[in-house]
Every structure is written in structure tokens, then in C-alpha cells.
């Protein structure tokens, strides 16, 4: 594992096998989780759902993933990625099967909300890949993991509807989702029997306390508390979408109860953060054992833009081509389908470039590209030639997906023992970005939607320029017995 070159076909190497086992685990979580979208026409027809009921299921499908990525990130640091990925696949598969055979809309809604848990599997693999690959390879390895695993959503769109259609009856969608879920459960068992948390002889570093990320200075403590606010605001925004003033699928009283519960949970989280970290105000952490939480905060906002853009744009492109440029639906779907396919090469490409020229420099380049391409799209009008719009969305997509790869090339290099928690928080911000941008898309014309993305990217570009630092060559970790060990990260 010392070579800077990464041969993905060298299956005789343990780390390469781990990479392939792990990206396919992520792939299976996305098949089960995001298979709902392409299956929704079948579900809607078979059960006679209204448009609003279908929209609610799609919203609920992403809601749980925001807190789940935080919780799963903590658990993977504590228990290790081997058991956690197996657990996510098996439990997520069981919940998905229960959803597949639900008999009432209330059961569908509850079980789809719980199914969002499987979307948290992504953060587990970040820790696993970080353990098995050195820093000079981790960018490309994380990019392959994220880019190829993300392709599970496209695989679900291609295979599950075909299976449901061929079965031909009203239970076709149920059988189709059940088959995918059973495969996920089987792969969870397989994964557990084939991997280990670390290479032989390596130490699996764990956080000293659970419940909140460990912070090493008073300033970072304040930033950490503030950075939890957007996670709860995103859930409040989803509640607002369901409230009487929008979709009208929950009552005003129910919405108010949810707002109060979210406020209470946030205050409980603040208390937990203080309980874990309040000591840093009384007894400063030794300088050599500190890390800068601002690194995590900048990566949070970077992923908010990169992955948030991906979730939002892939959801609206076909509608843009049809409604603004009067393109036939099938052609629009094919043109929009280019966007998710970019993940296969662009996300690993972002990690590879990050390995070669540095983490900070890569993020500066990709965010300059995201800002420029989406600001230009913000000037779009219905008189533009459609090839120009398609070209600019492809360019913007390449930069945003490269940006996602570059973000997670840096995540494992901030603080090893908390990689899961950091990956979980960064990943949750990506979902928050998706919620925010999709909400913007529902409120403004398409060109203004692109403009909001461009402005957001420009603001994050400024954060990267001012606050982000290139990871140092070494980090300090504390073992369970209290001894301190220096780890090379280059």
C-alpha cells in the first residue's frame, strides 16, 4: 500500500478487494434507498395515490437521512465499519421489505421515513476506505467509492421498473423492491464475512467519548454548536413543505409540534456537545493534540454545494428541457440522464486530482468552475439554444461531482479517530443542500435557481480561500490507554 499508484484490477491486494467490496455495499444502499423515485409511478397507480401523497413519500425518503448520517457516523467510529455496513444493509433491507408490503398509506409513510436510514451507509465506507488507503491514494480511492457507489441510483432506475413492468400485476412494484432488498440483506451478510476494519497490525482509533464530536478549543466549540443549526433548519423546512401553506398534508398543529420537537432535540444536542467538550474551556487541550474544526465546517459547506447541487439538478433537468425548450419527454429524459452518469468518472477524477496537486488547490479550482458555470446558467433565457444549456449543465456537473470527490479526499485527513463523525456531518450537509436547492427550485424560475447555486458556490469559494488549510503531514491520535501516537498522513 506504499505506492502512489492505485491499480483497481490488482485483486490480489487486500486493500483493492476492500475497495470493491465497499463501493458495491454503497451501490446496494442506493439501489434500495433511491429506487423509490423510478418506482413511484407504479406505486401511485397500484395504490391510487394522489400527487400530493406521492410527493410526501419522496420528501420522507430523504428526511431521515440527515440525522441518520450523524448518528451512523458516531457509531462507525465506535464499533467499526465492518459491522456497521452489514447492519445498515440488513436492517435497511428489512425496513424496505416491510415498506414493499405495507397495506395503508400511513404504513407507507412511516416505513419510507425509516427507510431513509439506509442512505446513511455512505459515511461508513468513508471510514473503511480511510483505514485501508494511505493519504496519497485516499482521494482516488474515496472517489471510486463515492462515484461508483452513487451509480446505484441509476441502476435502480434502469432495472427495478423493468422488473415491475414485466411482472405485470399490481404487486409488481412490491416484488421488485423486495428482490432488491433481499439482495441488499444477502450482501450485508457477505460483506461482514469478507472484510476487516483495518489492515493486519493496524490500530483502529476510536473517539474517547460518544454523543458528540470532540472539539479541542473554545472557539471551535462555538462554531460546532452553530454548525448544527442548519441540520435542524433543513428538517424544519421539510416540515414547512408538508404544512397547510404548501402541500397541506399535515395540520398546522402537527407542524407546530414538529417544530417544538426539533427545537428540543437541538437543545439536547447542545447539552451533549457541552457535556463532551465543556472541559476545553477549563483545561486547554495540548497544542500538539488539537485539530481545527474550521476545516470540518468549510468541508460541510463545500459538500452542501457539491452534493446538494447534484441532488437538486438531477431532479429538475428533464422538467427544464420540456417546459422551457419544448423538447419531447423521452429526449429530455435522455439529455438529463447524462448528468448522473458523470459520477462514474468525475468524482474519482476529483479525488485523483486532489491526490496529485493537493486538497485545498483542487477545491479552489473546482469551486471556481462551479461558480462560473452556474452563474452563467443564471443568465439563461428561453431564447438560448438548448445545446448551450446542456453543455453548461454538463460542465457544471463535472465540476460539482469532482468537488464531491475532492471534499471526501480530505475528510479522512482531518482527524482519524473521528472520520466517521466528520464524514457523517459533511454528508448530512450534502442532504441539507439538496433540500434547500430543491425548495428554491419550487419557488423561483429555473434561471434563478441556477443563479442561487452559483452565488452559493462563490460564497463557499471565498470560505475555502480564506479558511481552508492543506492537511499537515502528520496527526496526533490518543490510544485507549492514554498514550499518544503520531500518524503520517502523506
What are the residue ranges of helices labelled H in 358-418? 359-377, 386-410
SS3 251: coil
Among 1.10.1040.10, 3.30.470.20, 1.20.1250.20, 3.30.1440.10, name the CATH number for the domain at 205-490.
1.20.1250.20
* Cα separation, 257 vs 240, whole angstroms: 12
**pTM for this one?**
0.86
What's the sign of the alpha-carbon dihedral 292, 75, 56, 23? positive
SS3 484: strand
Q: And the C-alpha cell for 302?
A: 463545500
Give mean pLDDT, residues 368-378.
96
Residues 6+ apart with CB under 8 A from 312: 433, 434, 437, 438, 440, 441, 449, 453
* pLDDT computed for residue 259 by the predictor: 95
Which tens digits make up the pLDDT trace of 301-347? 999 999 999 888 887 887 888 889 888 876 777 787 788 788 889 99
Q: 6-202 and 205-490: same fold? A: yes
The architecture in CATH of the region 6-202 reads Up-down Bundle (1.20)
* Cα separation, 356 vs 60, whole angstroms: 40
For the chain, the domains span: 6-202, 205-490
Which tens digits make up the pLDDT trace of 144-163? 999 898 888 888 888 888 88
* CA distances to 107, 240, 242, 279 from 254, in Å: 18, 11, 10, 39
Amino acid at each position: 500500500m506504499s505506492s502512489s499508484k492505485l491499480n483497481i484490477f490488482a485483486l490480489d491486494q487486500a486493500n483493492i478487494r476492500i475497495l470493491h467490496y465497499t463501493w458495491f455495499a454503497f451501490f446496494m444502499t442506493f439501489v434500495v434507498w433511491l429506487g423509490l423515485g423510478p418506482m413511484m409511478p407504479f406505486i401511485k397507480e397500484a395504490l391510487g395515490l394522489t400527487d400530493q401523497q406521492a410527493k410526501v413519500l419522496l420528501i420522507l425518503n430523504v428526511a431521515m437521512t440527515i440525522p441518520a448520517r450523524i448518528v451512523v457516523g458516531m457509531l462507525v467510529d465506535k464499533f467499526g465499519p465492518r459491522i456497521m455496513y452489514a447492519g445498515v444493509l440488513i436492517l435497511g433491507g428489512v425496513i424496505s421489505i416491510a415498506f414493499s408490503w405495507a397495506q395503508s398509506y400511513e404504513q407507507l409513510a412511516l416505513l419510507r421515513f425509516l427507510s431513509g436510514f439506509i442512505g446513511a451507509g455512505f459515511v461508513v465506507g468513508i471510514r473503511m476506505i480511510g483505514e485501508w488507503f494511505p493519504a496519497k491514494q485516499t482521494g482516488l480511492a474515496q472517489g471510486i467509492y463515492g462515484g461508483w457507489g452513487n451509480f446505484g441510483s441509476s441502476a435502480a432506475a434502469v432495472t427495478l421498473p423493468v422488473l415491475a413492468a414485466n411482472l405485470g400485476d399490481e404487486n409488481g412494484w412490491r416484488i421488485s423492491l423486495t428482490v432488491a432488498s433481499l439482495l441488499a440483506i444477502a450482501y450485508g451478510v457477505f460483506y461482514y464475512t469478507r472484510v476487516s476494519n483495518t489492515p493486519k497490525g493496524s490500530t483502529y482509533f476510536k473517539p474517547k467519548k460518544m454523543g458528540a464530536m470532540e472539539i479541542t478549543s473554545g472557539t471551535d466549540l462555538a462554531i460546532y454548536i452553530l454548525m448544527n443549526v442548519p441540520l435542524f433548519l433543513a428538517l424544519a423546512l421539510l416540515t414547512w413543505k408538508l404544512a397547510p401553506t404548501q402541500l397541506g398534508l399535515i395540520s398546522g398543529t402537527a407542524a407546530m409540534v414538529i417544530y417544538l420537537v426539533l427545537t428540543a432535540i437541538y437543545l439536547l444536542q447542545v447539552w451533549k456537545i457541552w457535556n463532551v467538550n465543556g472541559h476545553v474551556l477549563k483545561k486547554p487541550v495540548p497544542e500538539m493534540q488539537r485539530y481545527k474544526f474550521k476545516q470540518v465546517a468549510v468541508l460541510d459547506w463545500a459538500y452542501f454545494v457539491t452534493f446538494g447541487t447534484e441532488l437538486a439538478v438531477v431532479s429538475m433537468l428533464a422538467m427544464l428541457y420540456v417546459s422551457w425548450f419544448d423538447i419531447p419527454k423521452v429526449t429530455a429524459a435522455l439529455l438529463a440522464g447524462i448528468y448522473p452518469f458523470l459520477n462514474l468518472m468525475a468524482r474519482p477524477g476529483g479525488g485523483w486530482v486532489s491526490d496529485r496537486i493537493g486538497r485545498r488547490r483542487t477545491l479552489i479550482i473546482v469551486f471556481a468552475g462551479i461558480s462560473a458555470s452556474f452563474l452563467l446558467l443564471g443568465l439563461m433565457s428561453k431564447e438560448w439554444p438548448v445545446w448551450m444549456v446542456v453543455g453548461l449543465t454538463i460542465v457544471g456537473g463535472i465540476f460539482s461531482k469532482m468537488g464531491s470527490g475532492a471534499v471526501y479526499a480530505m475528510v479522512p485527513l482531518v482527524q482519524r479517530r473521528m472520520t466517521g463523525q466528520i464524514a457523517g456531518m459533511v454528508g448530512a450537509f450534502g442532504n441539507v443542500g439538496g433540500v434547500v436547492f430543491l425548495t428554491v427550485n419550487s419557488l423561483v424560475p429555473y434561471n434563478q435557481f441556477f443563479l442561487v447555486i452559483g452565488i452559493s458556490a462563490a460564497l463557499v469559494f471565498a470560505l475555502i480561500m480564506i479558511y481552508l488549510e492543506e492537511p499537515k503531514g502528520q496527526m496526533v491520535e490518543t490510544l485507549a490507554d492514554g498514550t499518544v501516537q503520531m500518524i503520517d498522513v502523506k
